[in-house]
Structure 1
Amino acid sequence: MRPLLFVLLAAVLQATPQALALDLVETPSLAPRVAAGALPPVSERAPSEPLVVDLAARGREPGVHGGVIRTLIGQARDVRMAVVYGYARLVGYDDAYAIRPDLLREVTVEDGRVFTFHLRAGHRWSDGAPFTAEDFRYWWEDVANNAELFPAGPPALMLVDGAPPRFTAIDETTVRYEWSAPNASFLSALAAARPPFIYRPAHYMKRYHERYAAPAELQALVEAAGARGWAALHNAVDDLYSFDDPELPTLQPWVNTTPRNGQRYVLARNPYYHRVDRNGRQLPYVDAIDMTVAAGGLIPAKTNRGESDLQARGLALSDAPVLKKGEAKGGYVTRLWTSGYAADIALYPNLNYNDPVWREVLRDRRFRRALSLGVDRAAINKTLFFGLARPAAMAALPQSPFYDAAQAAAWASHDPVAANALLDAMGLARGGDGVRLLPDGRPLEVVAETAGERREEIDALELIADMWRELGVKLIYRSLDRDILRNKAYAGEAMMPVWFGWNLGVIIADSAPDEATPVDQAVFTWPKWGQHYQTRGAAGEPVDMPAAERLLALRDAWAGAPSLEGRAAAWREILSIHADEVFAIGVVASAPQPVAVNARLRNFPAKAVYAWEPGAHFGVHRIDEVFFAEPGAQP
């Protein structure tokens, strides 16, 4: 049989200057440095094979250079959102959620197991050093396979059936990863909001590695940093995601210029960025991003006063009316995007709850179905979301090719009669006060715990408590610190945590089904099963429910599928099982997410999905293409 071979080509986004006869235009803010000889001209800075964006093909207009985007973050470590929003990835999703080459010029995939990456000739790191196959080799051979840096061995993403790939640096701009079986997660992981970064700025990191650094010089660095040893120092420096080290080279559109733990971060344009428009202007259009730390509760008020040019983080739907009133004075517009969570509020019956009596009840799908039927989603939507969300069970969103209206409606109608019948069939009789009794005679009191970070969760639980009272179910709810809630769930001590639904509401065939299958302890439905999978049996509990066992098999089937068709088939059955089993009780979905945008910003979508995966919030919408209509008119 001929091997399946397909090439991911950015046909719309990719071209070469020679093919388009581009004359690159010097960026005005960089021109003085070029004139002084401190920076090469743009013709030498941009790759000889840049990614040439066709804005017109996507309904956008060519922009002009200049201006600063101000945005607010809740804490200093949120400077990492610049990596999320900047969204420079080896491969990334386009705005139709198809994976396209980005930092890479081309990707060739054979049988779902052999991946050949072609880099862009002339591409450079933000400090001007070449970005080459050596950066991939260094990470794989000298970092991921170094026992002192990775004591547990290479990341799970790089293992298929426990075995690593054969890595080959073919030439300066070509590398290959070859597994013995398909690695379905590979490209989607590289396109993630928080990607694995399977490359490093080798020229920079080698000074911290014992294989390359002079011993005396390395020891001096270790002592100056107060590190335990060279490996600890290397790991501390080696963090392309945190974005809090101005010295660490990057490939993102902007470069951090501010030391860590500050209250304000200034991100300057990357002079060596790989994307240009068809008019020869190197992206990003905007010169800088200004990230200012503000207490979470103050972000809506500061946005209302016009202190942010692009803001969604820290804003909730309840802030929308005030934001709308302040638009004229604040110089911004309020756009309502759609949340990308599979459910904006979800209750997770913990199938690994420690209490054996409760565990048996929670594992009975009649109980989960009854609780779901007891929720009046329409009333919650009207009361808490102004009727703008979508009452639904937890399922794929309408923007997903796997959306199924029947699955979104499964066990999601408000039907107290049917709910009571299911509970009666379980033998959960009512006590004298109307509250049903557990098989051991205790009152049936469901304890739901939330991180308390969103008022909507508490308000929804208050409404659900009244609704479930009609079923003879007493709901007790309380708020805990986020970390305490997680640790209780992981230990089997939280009965029914409340959280968002799956991050991955816009499911595509390439999406790893880790949230929907029992392979991750962070999913509150089955934390101990997830522990067992993640630790390869060293912790947690093995899966011992038929439906969950089938989900586990489907996760393996998805991972082993060499084609999109095979992965899609696995996803369809996974979603069907969830609709039938009600492993999580979704309340509403597609809730509006306010996004405040400076009125002079162009190329920013009016309508979109605000999703962590896939999409990296703003990332998939390419804010490097956003520009100010009048960049000189900023406050």
Structure 2
Amino acid sequence: MQDVTAYRLGLVAFKWRSDLRKLKEFIMKKVVGFFLIGLIVSSASLFAGGAKEAPEAAVAAEVGNEAPQLAALVARGELPPLEQRLPSEPLVVEPVDRIGEYGGTWRRAVLGGADGANMTRTVLYNMLVRWAPDWSGVIPDIAKSFTVNDDSTAFTFQLREGMKWSDGHPFTSADIRFWFEAVFSNPDLTTGSRDVAGVELVDVEVHDEYSLTFRFAGPSGLFLQTLASPGLGADVVSHPRHYFEQFHAEYNPNIDEVLRAEDFGDWVDLFDHKNDQTANVEQPTLNGWVVTNPYDGTTTEVRFERNPYYWKVDTEGNQLPYLDRVVFDVLQDAEVVLLRTLDGQYDLIGRHVANAANRPVLFQSMDRGNYRFLEEVSDSSTAMALHYNFNHQDPVKREIIENKDFRVGLSHAINRDEINDLIFAGLAEPWQVAPLRTSAFFDEEFAKQFTEYDVDFANEHLDLAGYTQRDSQGYRLGPDGNRISLMIELINSDEQIAALELIQGYWREVGVHMDFRPMDRSLLWERKGNLLHDVMVWQGTGGLNPIMTPVRWIPVAGGAHHGIGWSNWYNNPDHALAVEPPAPVKRKLELYDAVRSVGDPRRQHELMTEILEISRESFRLTGIVIPPPGYKVVRNDFHNVPEVMPGSWNYPTPGPTNPEQYFTTRGR
């Protein structure tokens, strides 16, 4: 067993530099220097030859300063001194540019009532382990260190002695054990499989207050990467026992009294209601900021304030975060987000505003808004993917969608070059939902199949599909004798709407009626979850890292918008909306189970390659173009933000860049 300071995950270094312009002019401007980003194509070198150590971490001086507001509370005796609030070994964060200044607000925006991922990416990224800022590996975070046994079935973590929740209560191994036995292992709170990254989590064994081991039934080749990514990683460290046991029937014999006081009829509903770090202002947290104005559908502003017990410091020992608070405007229209960004109201923002369509107007207003652009290297396999619903509640729609010739014909009917020129300023490239050139899984045939604009070929495939009969307006008739008509659903996105307007015309030319309907994310998620959508538009993720972001090809989770029923079946065959998948999909699920249960990175790569080959043959999703170079907007007086960063859900941008060391000089 080897002590692991950091996992340098075996990776292919991606150099985002000026010579990549040879690949279809993908770079809008020259990026000076090199940006190394791990592609995490597998867990290569993760276990082969033993773990590798990262460069030495920054070392802090003695305990330094704290925010003036906290110092005032200490002076009044309302808060313990800083040295009593920090762990004995706080995590030391090296600032991107320089030691920051205390004070100020980070202003952002959320869109609609189901944009919690916005907060996951910004204020909620604190895990046992985390992605390194350059995405080159997994490094300690809440855990000060960890070790892995030789066959990857046991992962032991050392916690930070003296670390505290935001309410001042000690954080210990008992809190993680509580998550395991009270939440993860409780069938009322966690339905379906008890697997983690595809392997059964057998036990979380506590050795002492600050040491514990996760034990698996077999090799868990993706456990550390899963812990560093959104989802499980946050769950493990967000259930303080001293707070949540009062809402749990197995821990509180007086639960009925609590239910009456809280006006809930069922303890499970109450527990779930309380378990929300964006809406429950009473929930203790380990994050840098604590929610004080909740994201609960009733407010126009969500507010997070500094956590006085936060456990990270800069290299001079000053407690982080530098910023007093993070404030999210709750808006309903992306156009309003754009207007406020143009006015310089938002300090660092990309979500809902930093798209190709907005780039020219944002560029023109840089002086007025006092901001600049940052580069974002996207791992999206396509800027927009058409996710046909293969589990549709309507059997006629389902039959049409399942016809591969139908999908191939519609793909050939799309003029991707025109979409690229008119919407993406010629900076993109026709592409299916397939790994990018910079991925070790790149497959030219997969990426380019059926992307040629050819109306004759499109009509030929639609005829082969059996839909040769047309109505008086020239639209093709389906198996029920009625006009084939597809409704495409999406959240508000100007560039995707513009692309769909063009696609609507392309498909009309080959006799297929299509309309589209933008909607709030919460409604879209509701319709998707009930298998009611015909086609859904979403980005194609996993372009760099299909093993860690596989849902565009394998229905293992709710992000598999094309196969929600299959995903339900995979995770819980008794689910009310579970749909047993066909043999090729079952084979992919079996292969991915194998990917997650082997420790050999070469074998993982072979298995994932077979999955992608099946996906290429099945051709279930339709891609449009590779995303053009990404960007974010940052005010010139907002500091310590990297000039280039990865863009991914798996690496929840910008969370791994340590937002706690951002600071502002606005108004100074």
| Distance in structure 1 (CA, Å) of the matches to 2:248 and 2:395 | 51
| Distance in structure 1 (CA, Å) of the matches to 2:94 and 2:205 | 33
Q: Map Cα deviations across residues 486-528 of structure 1 (whole Å, 9 max, x no partner).
A: 6665666544x0311334444154x153442133465343333
Q: 2:516 maps to what in 1? A: 478
| Distance in structure 2 (CA, Å) of the matches to 1:153 and 1:428 | 42
Matched, 1:246 2:285: no
Q: 2:351 maps to what in 1? A: 313
Contact 2:434 2:442 (C-alpha < 8 Å) held by counterparts: yes
- Structure 2, unaligned runs of 5 or more: 3-45
- Match for residue 527 of structure 1 among 557, 564, 569: 564
- Structure 1 residues 88 and 12, CA, compared in 2 at 3 Å: closer, same or farther? farther
Contact 1:6 1:108 (C-alpha < 8 Å) held by counterparts: no
Contact 1:392 1:586 (C-alpha < 8 Å) held by counterparts: yes
- Match for residue 257 of structure 1 among 271, 292, 296: 292
Q: 2:85 maps to what in 1? A: 45
Deviates more, 1:564-573 or 1:440-449: 440-449
Displacement of 1:531: 2.9
Residues 319-468 of structure 1: pairs in structure 2 closer than 5 A: 319-335=358-374, 337-353=376-392, 359=398, 362-398=401-437, 400-423=439-462, 429=468, 440=479, 442=481, 445-451=484-490, 453-468=492-507
Normalization by structure 2: what TM-score?
0.81
| Distance in structure 2 (CA, Å) of the matches to 1:222 and 1:114 | 39
| Distance in structure 2 (CA, Å) of the matches to 1:349 and 1:228 | 39
SS in 2 for 1:500: strand
Contact 2:551 2:559 (C-alpha < 8 Å) held by counterparts: no
- Match for residue 172 of structure 2 among 122, 129, 132: 132
Contact 1:447 1:476 (C-alpha < 8 Å) held by counterparts: yes
Displacement of 1:367: 3.5
Q: 2:554 maps to what in 1? A: 517
| Distance in structure 2 (CA, Å) of the matches to 1:81 and 1:354 | 31
- Structure 1 residues 600 and 489, CA, compared in 2 at 3 Å: closer, same or farther? closer
Q: 1:607 maps to what in 2? A: 644
Matched, 1:91 2:129: yes
| Distance in structure 2 (CA, Å) of the matches to 1:604 and 1:243 | 24
- Structure 1 residues 88 and 403, CA, compared in 2 at 3 Å: closer, same or farther? farther
Contact 1:436 1:473 (C-alpha < 8 Å) held by counterparts: yes
Identity in percent: 28
| Distance in structure 2 (CA, Å) of the matches to 1:440 and 1:208 | 53
Q: In structure 1, what residue type is equivalent to 2:54?
A: A
Displacement of 1:178: 1.3
- Match for residue 266 of structure 1 among 298, 303, 324: 303
| Distance in structure 2 (CA, Å) of the matches to 1:209 and 1:443 | 53
- Structure 1 residues 224 and 5, CA, compared in 2 at 3 Å: closer, same or farther? farther
SS in 1 for 2:127: coil
RMSD over aligned CA atoms reads 3.5
Displacement of 1:567: 2.6
Deviates more, 1:370-379 or 1:440-449: 440-449
SS in 2 for 1:461: helix
Normalization by structure 1: what TM-score?
0.85
Contact 1:80 1:243 (C-alpha < 8 Å) held by counterparts: no
Contact 1:337 1:594 (C-alpha < 8 Å) held by counterparts: yes
Residues 139-150 of structure 1: pairs in structure 2 closer than 5 A: 139-146=179-186, 149-150=188-189
SS in 1 for 2:376: strand
SS in 2 for 1:501: strand
Displacement of 1:401: 4.3
- Structure 1 residues 214 and 424, CA, compared in 2 at 3 Å: closer, same or farther? closer
- Structure 1 residues 301 and 143, CA, compared in 2 at 3 Å: closer, same or farther? same
Displacement of 1:106: 1.9
Q: In structure 2, what residue type is equivalent to 1:382?
A: D
- Structure 1 residues 537 and 567, CA, compared in 2 at 3 Å: closer, same or farther? farther
| Distance in structure 2 (CA, Å) of the matches to 1:542 and 1:213 | 38
Q: 2:160 maps to what in 1? A: 120
Contact 1:275 1:282 (C-alpha < 8 Å) held by counterparts: yes
- Match for residue 230 of structure 2 among 190, 193, 196: 193
Matched, 1:621 2:657: yes
Q: 1:34 maps to what in 2? A: 74
Displacement of 1:305: 1.8
Deviates more, 1:248-257 or 1:562-571: 562-571
- Structure 1 residues 374 and 292, CA, compared in 2 at 3 Å: closer, same or farther? closer
| Distance in structure 2 (CA, Å) of the matches to 1:562 and 1:572 | 16
Residues 199-214 of structure 1: pairs in structure 2 closer than 5 A: 199=237, 200-210=239-249, 213=252
SS in 2 for 1:386: coil
| Distance in structure 2 (CA, Å) of the matches to 1:138 and 1:583 | 41
SS in 2 for 1:344: strand
- Structure 1 residues 622 and 413, CA, compared in 2 at 3 Å: closer, same or farther? farther
Q: 2:218 maps to what in 1? A: 181
Displacement of 1:247: 2.2
Q: In structure 1, what residue type is equivalent to 2:659?
A: I
Q: In structure 2, what residue type is equivalent to 1:616?
A: P
Displacement of 1:390: 3.3
Number of residues of Structure 1 aligned to a counterpart in Structure 2: 613
